Structure 1
Amino acid sequence: MEKIAIGNTKTLQTRLVLPPDTNHLDTIFGGKVLAYIDEIAALTSMKHAKSAVVTASIDSVDFLSSAKVGDSLTLEAYVTYTGNSSMEVFVKVTAHDLIHHTEQLTTESFLTMVAVDGTGKPIPVPQVYPVSEEEQEWFDSAPVRKENRKRRMLSRKS
């Protein structure tokens, strides 16, 4: 199976923050952002694996700032690391104030997705490799996140 550059797994989505998406402070619900993150992670990993995928874990979500009604959100996702059938996906969310032409990073997240066949059994995925310095950082730090995931799973079983 061929190896694919991390940069070639990039997926972009743009969303508009509308009043029903917001809380009493007129900022977007965190749960809405999580749904967007899960969706783009699925799209990114499906494109990479050329198969259906399931979300195995949302490893981390850091809400750094909020977006308000009228902002656009840009979601950017990459497959940053792969196992046999699993893919780690990094998602970055940026809010854009379209009137004042400002932007700010709102959220960063790592998820683990698993490629599956028609019966739900895991299937192999192409490996990825880093090219840029940022991609190298994601790639090199992935085994630590994987180990933390395993530890969390084991602690739940005991």
Structure 2
Amino acid sequence: MDQSAILKQSKSCSQSRVIQTHRILPAMCNMHNTLYGGRLMEMIDNCASISVSRHARCLTVTASMDTLNFIEPLPLADSVCIETMVTGTGKTSMEVFVKVVGEELNTGRRYLAATAFLTFVTVPNDAGQKVYVPSVFPETAEEKYVCAGYAKRRQTRLSAYAEDQAFNQQISIDIPWA
């Protein structure tokens, strides 16, 4: 398909929605008997990668985990439900919103455990050409609320990226033990 035609396409947030639910087992926990933060990050990245694949239908890579807010711990034996969807697009980039909901399986109490935003970018095709992504549109009240903040979050990311590039130039990669 012509890349300009792809840019004209638009997909709903729900077309990229992914929901993964896991029981929190002992091997997934830290010494506080709650889910390791790093394990949650792995689950988030996995789930978000499926959302962008559904949206763009091409090869992508994680560019950044822009924010990850741990709100409430996820204890052993609860379930963790990770819900992701594309909430904003550039030409070759996609923002993914992540909602993490815990559930006490014995009582049914549900709680917001974490939220996150990740950015993914497309990988150039075999001919080395950029691969463009369709735009996205919200339908539900929650989707509209999250998508409404995309432009501001994107501008913040772009500013931070420029600062990070300058910062990285000052970081030594010399062998530390020499």
- State if a TM-score over 0.5 links the two structures: yes
Q: How do 1:125-136 residues align onto structure 2 when only pairs under 5 Å count? A: 125-136=133-144
> What amino acid is the match of 1:137?
Y
> What amino acid is the match of 1:93?
V
User: Is structure 2 residue 67 aligned with structure 1 residue 71?
Assistant: no
Alpha carbons of structure 1 residues 117 and 155: separation in structure 2 relative to 1, 3 Å:
closer
> Residue 139 of structure 1: which of 147, 155, 171 is its match?
147
Distance in 1 of aligned mates of 2:164 and 2:75: 37
Cα distance per residue 1:59-94 (max 9 Å; x no partner): 111100011111111111110011111110001011
- Give the TM-score taking structure 1 as reference length: 0.93
* Identity value in percent: 32
Cα distance per residue 1:108-133 (max 9 Å; x no partner): 00100112245586411111112222
> Residue 90 of structure 1: which of 89, 97, 101 is its match?
97
Q: Which runs of structure 1 show a deviation greater than 2 angstroms over 4 or more consecutive aligned residues?
A: 117-122
Unaligned runs of 5+ in 1: none
Contact 1:114 1:122 in 2 (8 A): no
Equivalent residue for 1:100?
Answer: 107
**Rg bigger for which structure?**
2
> What amino acid is the match of 2:143?
E
Distance in 1 of aligned mates of 2:146 and 2:56: 19
Q: Point out the structure with the larger strand share.
A: 1
> What amino acid is the match of 2:132?
P
Unaligned runs of 5+ in 2: 1-5, 167-178
Over the aligned positions, Cα root-mean-square deviation in angstroms equals 1.5
Cα distance per residue 1:39-67 (max 9 Å; x no partner): 11101101111112100111111100011
Contact 1:81 1:127 in 2 (8 A): yes
- Give the TM-score taking structure 2 as reference length: 0.83
* Count, aligned residues: 158
Contact 2:125 2:131 in 1 (8 A): no
